[in-house]
Amino acid sequence: MKSLFFGLRQPLYNAETEAAIQEARDMMAGNTDATVYGSVAEMNADIDTEGDQE
């Protein structure tokens, strides 16, 4: 958080970005599962099907 000159604090990132940062930290710490791909083609196929589910 950034501190303004008169003591108010302003977040550095919006809520979505904060959640993504926390998710990445959890993955690095082993607290949540991360998807592992064997190739870029496999990752792209997963991304393509992800859009179909929404």
Splitting the chain (54 residues) into consecutive groups of 10 residues, what average pLDDT does each group show?
Answer: 66 92 94 92 92 64
pTM over 0.85: no
Q: Provide the number of structural domains found in the chain.
A: 1
Pair 50, 42: CB distance under 8 Å: no
Residue-wise DSSP of 1-54: -EEPTTS-EE-SS-HHHHHHHHHHHHHHHTSS-----SSHHHHHHHHHHHHHH-
pLDDT of residue 51: 67
* Domain with 21 in it: 2-53
Cα gap 40→47, rounded to integer Å: 10
